[in-house]
Amino acid sequence: MTRHTIGSTANIKCEKRARRGERPILPIRSQPVSPTVLTVFGTRPEAIKAAPLIRGIEASDNLRSRTLVTAQHREMLDQVNDLFGVEPDFDLNIMAAGQTLNGIASRVIGELDAVLAEAAPDAVLVQGDTTTVMGAAIAAFNRGIPVIHLEAGLRSGNIASPFPEEANRKLTSQVSSLHLAPTSRSRDNLLAEGIDPADVAVTGNTVIDALHLAVAMKVTPAEPKVADYVATDRPKLLVTTHRRENLGSAMESIGDALAELAAARPELLILLPAHRNPLVREAVLPRVAEFNNVLVTEPLSYGEFTTVMAASDVVLTDSGGIQEEAPSLGKPVLVMRENTERPEAVTAGSVALVGTDRSAIVAEVSRLFDDARGYESMARAVNPYGDGRAAVRSVAAIEALLGVGERIDEFTPERSPWHSAQKQ
């Protein structure tokens, strides 16, 4: 992309006057105008993973950063932005009660289009696979603005699971000019779909960069029982669940499994930050209400959550991002899903798929607390997702795309020195 300059017209006039033998007017010195990257995000996970890259773009001498939030998750989004010092330039505040996925997509595309017309960015950066991501990518593509997709190439292989994320990320890939793939497997997924290898950069995942930053802050949980959970020496299980495809009988089965674990292992502390979705709460909370060793809390801030995760022994989740974060802290992860778009950790041995069957969940959690060798093999597995430098590689790839820099070496997994330090 051509770099824009200020004062080029004045320089041309100077040259014409000189050719006519006239005294030249002192030209206005040309100053390069750095390409502008507009980062668009709307949910807490997007904010977490975008924050290190936003900071990296802001620190670049060759790029200009602007940010826009759709506020698909209002409160949790604002908490993350405050933690990382991100101040959005634009806020669409699109959410309304009872809004459908199509309603969200319609508002994102329509309202973002007006911003694109006004701000005229040189590229639009999106992260992940939400409806905000898909809508923003379509809006930018329709205006001929290059789309940069952070965390590109994740695939579960099932268009309906996770829903609608699998469809969103595949659609976004088709209109993106630069694919920032977290792993070589993600890159291979893109190449298998016909994406040009020159348009893909393997960077590692920026969630590891964000985790490094947040853990270093050592945020103390505000709620006393959560602070006590962090401080205690009792065995600790951290649980998160919210997946749309797990709603209904699968979520009830998860609640039953937690109740069985609490009853069978009274020494075990189970911390459950409850998702705000009432369908999650109605399925799980009544099943664990009688147990004193199940600590139910409101959703934690990201800073609090990283502190809690670092203090836990095992993580039981259906989240995507936690599959990437917890291995960096040496925490075995059991995933309550039938498949995952993050198979690298399963291959590495830091993550195991357990599904939502009550007996399977109870058996696998119990195994990790009873089998020291099995626990250690998962806790010490290589983290395939990043080394804390994903944002640096991503900035270099963006600069190369926009003609103001060059790429640097890509990410390759290794046993992280930072991980080793955390284990000591």
**What is the number of other CB atoms lying within 10 angstroms of the CB of residue 146?**
21
Active site residues: 129, 151, 165, 242, 244, 275
- Token pair 């609640």 in the structure block, residue: 255
CB atoms under 10 Å from CB of 9, counted, come to 11
Q: What share of the chain is helix, strand, coil (3-state, %, to 5)?
A: 50, 15, 35
Rg of the chain over all Cα atoms, to the nearest angstrom: 24
CB neighbour burial string for 321-342, b if at least 16 within 10 angstroms, e if fewer:
bbbbbbbbbbbbbbbbbbebbb
CA-to-CA separations, 186 to 73, 166, 228, 267, in angstroms, rounded: 27, 13, 39, 40
Q: How far is the C-alpha of 177 from the C-alpha of 407, rounded, in Å?
A: 15
CB 323 within 8 A of CB 333: yes
Instruction: Check if the beta carbon of residue 335 is closer than 8 Å to that of residue 352.
Output: yes
Beta bridge partners, 282, equal: none
Contact 68, 40 (CB under 8 A): yes
Output phi, psi for 22, to 5 deg.
-90, 155
Q: Which amino acid is at 348?
A: A
